[in-house]
Amino acid sequence: MSSAAAAAAPEPRPVRFGILGCATIARKVARAMLLAPDATVAAVGSRSEEKARLFAADNGLIPAADDGLRLRLHGTYEALLDDPGVDAVYLPLPTSLHVRWAAAAAARGKHVLLEKPAALCAADLDAVLAACDAAGVQFMDATMLMHHPRTAKMREVVHDKDAFGDVKLINSVFTFRANEDFLQNDIRVKPDLDALGALGDIGWYCIRVILLAVDYELPKTVIALRDPVKNRAGVLLACGATMYWADGKTATFNCSFLTNLTMDITLVGTNGTLRVTDFNIPYQERSAEFTVASKSNFAELGIGCGPLPSKHVVTNDLPQEALMVQEFARLVQNIRDTGSKPEGKWPAITRKTQVVMDAVKASIDKGSEPVEVVS
């Protein structure tokens, strides 16, 4: 940036978000928008204005947004997309609706923060990404853990070739015990809304952290674990897969709606071992931990071993979802206010996650046959 441009740059205006759909997860992200600097909730769109109003009232949006911008309530998704006072859309609709509404948002020149899973398949995602690309808007999926400073710190540890060596083995588990109401009524068990079920909802995170651990190098082959659990409508309630890389790395993940809340990732490298037990949603909002053991060995005679894993504690000023909103808003401001291009890293990471998820789904559909991952 030239010094003239720097001198001319005004205090950046906040990014005006429109929330498209009032899903439960939108409550968390709405709160994040209130917490994040450079972001404001400008509008809420739902299937009725009344729903939008209730959501806004329930989530503290009306007073908080009443800072000269005034929150607007829209009774249709279209109306929100037509709102000229909206820079960016946060889209927490059921996955089956993503391709339509995310592409429509991009076509209206709105930046797109899209809930995960990004799409039902890579072809759908590609339609969204093409629309974003054509419109020059930023795309990012709402995988919050990506923005936690713990995640960055873990990557730093794993990249230490002396202390950690080369990652060879990854295990990830994300399960939670859904109650009967969830298993009967939640959108995540409905074939027309979230057909990927547990794979899309939580397997997504396992795939993402696995890719993160290997610097987004795609596995060559994916083989689903056998005996996935499906509901009567065929939606996945529990499944898993093993991924194989060309250089011999392997990763296994399990996701399930049927067992106790567990969010583990274990990375084993040639020289080190890293473990997290709350990788997706830290136990605490402002502080998160992981442990690392490096160059571990048996003691003399194999009596005891060490060193004990050392604990790393990472604090964060804002919760990870607010850091996500902040990062997205920063990119949008750059585009809107200084003519920058969209950051290509985010759609690329989303697409890799989707491509692996597609391969897992294909392997499940083929009775756990190996499926080659096509980038």
Point out which residues bind its own copies (CB under 8 A): 24-25, 27-28, 31, 165, 168-169, 171, 173, 175-177, 221, 223, 225-227, 229, 238, 240, 242, 244, 248, 250, 252, 254, 256, 258-264, 266, 268-273, 275, 277-278, 281-285, 293-298, 301-306, 308-309, 319, 321, 370
- The residue among 252 and 354 lying less far from its own copies, judged by its C-beta, is 252
- The residue among 138 and 242 lying less far from its own copies, judged by its C-beta, is 242
Q: Least distance in Å: CB of 21 to its own copies?
A: 16
Q: Least distance in Å: CB of 271 to its own copies?
A: 5
Q: Least distance in Å: CB of 210 to its own copies?
A: 14
- The residue among 124 and 278 lying less far from its own copies, judged by its C-beta, is 278
- The residue among 57 and 261 lying less far from its own copies, judged by its C-beta, is 261
Q: What are phi and psi of 104, to 5 degrees?
A: -65, -40
Tokens, residue 185: 């009524």
Q: How far, in Å, CA of 152 to CA of 157, rounded?
A: 9
- The residue among 27 and 100 lying less far from its own copies, judged by its C-beta, is 27
Based on its alpha-carbon atoms, the radius of gyration of the chain, rounded to whole angstroms, reads: 21
Question: Which of the residues 110, 116, 352, 361 is marked catalytic?
Answer: 116
Q: How far, in Å, CA of 64 to CA of 69, rounded?
A: 10
Q: Least distance in Å: CB of 232 to its own copies?
A: 16
The four Cα atoms 338, 339, 344, 347 give a dihedral, to 10 degrees, of 90
- The residue among 48 and 310 lying less far from its own copies, judged by its C-beta, is 310
Residues 6+ apart with CB under 8 A from 249: 167, 168, 169, 170, 214, 219
Q: Least distance in Å: CB of 258 to its own copies?
A: 7
Residues 6+ apart with CB under 8 A from 63: none
For residue 220, count CB atoms less than 10 angstroms from its CB and return exposed for 0-12, middle for 13-18, buried for 19 or more.
Answer: middle
- The residue among 219 and 342 lying less far from its own copies, judged by its C-beta, is 219
Tokens, residue 290: 């992981």
* Strands 258-269, 287-294: pairing kind: unpaired
Q: Least distance in Å: CB of 151 to its own copies?
A: 17
**Strand, helix or coil at 132?**
helix
- 28 in active site: no
CA 5 vs CA 50, 332, 340: distances in Å: 45, 18, 13
Tokens 């991952």 belong to 373
CA 268 vs CA 117, 172, 242: distances in Å: 27, 12, 15
* Strands 111-114, 139-141: pairing kind: parallel
Q: What is the DSSP letter of 74?
A: E
Q: Least distance in Å: CB of 106 to its own copies?
A: 27
Q: Do the beta carbons of residue 253 and residue 173 sit within 8 Å? A: yes
Active site residues: 116
